[in-house]
Amino acid sequence: MFVEKPLCITREEFAAVVHAWRRSPGDLMVGFNRRFSPLTLHVKAGLVGRSGPAAITIRVNAGAVPRTHWTQQLEQGGGRILGELCHFVDLACFLAGAQPVTVFALAASSDAALALRDTVTVSLAFADGSVGSVTYAAVGDTTFPKERVEVFCEGAVWAIDDFKALDSVVGGKRVKKRLQRSDKGHRREMAAFLDLVQGRPSSILTFRDCLVSTAATFAVIESLASGLPVTPEAPAAGA
């Protein structure tokens, strides 16, 4: 089964999905397509074999969405944290390649419910010592580039701009890659899903990965509510 992100919009739904998956002979994939971008995979390959922690920063110039939009309806879209920020929490988890152990979030002042805040900064700490930050901003000018990803690790740097251009410096050598058009991984994601339904699981995105990213995104809202760091729920046994 393929589920477009988010996997779910409540903790109760999260538990129900896990329960159903454990009782089913089938499998499930969530639409976290940015893992499958060729530029993301290039960076991921450069991180293979690292012995030290990575520092990951993701900036999203998301732009404003009217309060009447379906994504801003808690019962339908769950808000932009669960519905869109989840993409970038998942991307940070993929690049780190480790379980997030602490999530701390701050939101810009707003009269909206916490789950509906859409200018948010999230800090993540991972089990291997890596750290990540995601800034999701709805208050910028949308003519400015939308997404930038930077990864720093063991003297190397990779920077992705809008999943169209990659600038990297590894071992003192600078390399630039540019695609003809932005590729956020949708085609490769669909190919991986077709493989999955034929019994060939993806190493890029597993059901456990989907649970980890979803739990960490729930932790963003929980941190906003408490004002404190939150430990994300660990994946269910067997996942």
Provide the pLDDT for residue 137. 97
Give the closest residue to 216 by CA, choosing from 134, 138, 112. Answer: 134
Give the closest residue to 148 by CA, choosing from 47, 56, 21. Answer: 56
Please report whether residue 119 resides in a domain.
yes
Give the helix, strand, coil percentages of the chain, each rounded to 5. 35, 25, 40
**pTM (predicted TM-score):** 0.94
Q: What is the mean pLDDT of residues 23-34?
A: 89
Please report whether residue 46 resides in a domain.
yes
| Domains contained in the chain, number | 1
Range scoring the smallest mean pLDDT among 12-16, 40-44, 151-155 = 12-16
Query: Can you give the residue range of the structural domain that contains 50?
Result: 2-226
Query: The tokens 């939308």 sit on which residue?
Result: 146
Alpha helices in the chain (DSSP H): 11-23, 38-47, 79-80, 86-96, 186-197, 207-226
Please report whether residue 236 resides in a domain.
no
Range scoring the smallest mean pLDDT among 2-11, 46-55, 161-170 = 2-11
Provide the pLDDT for residue 69. 86
Q: What phi and psi, each to the nearest 5 degrees, are found at residue 86?
A: -55, -35
Query: The tokens 């994946």 sit on which residue?
Result: 235
End-to-end CA distance of the chain: 16
Quote the tokens at residue 50.
Answer: 């690292």
Provide the pLDDT for residue 155. 95
Q: What phi and psi, each to the nearest 5 degrees, are found at residue 89?
A: -65, -45
Please report whether residue 133 resides in a domain.
yes
Please report whether residue 231 resides in a domain.
no
- Taking each helix axis from N to C terminus, what angle separates 86-96 and 207-226, rounded to the nearest 10 degrees? 120
Question: Strands 173-178 and 156-161, how do they pair?
Answer: unpaired
Q: For position 202, which CATH number holds?
A: 3.30.360.10
Structure confidence by residue, pLDDT tens digits, 134-184? 999 999 999 999 999 999 999 999 999 999 999 999 999 999 999 999 999
Stretch (H or E) spanning 3: strand 2-3
Quote the tokens at residue 110.
Answer: 């707003």
115: three-class secondary structure by DSSP: helix
- Confidence check: pLDDT of 19 > 90: no
Range scoring the smallest mean pLDDT among 62-66, 159-163, 232-236 = 232-236
Please report whether residue 232 resides in a domain.
no
Q: How far apart are CA 193 and CA 196, in angstroms?
A: 5
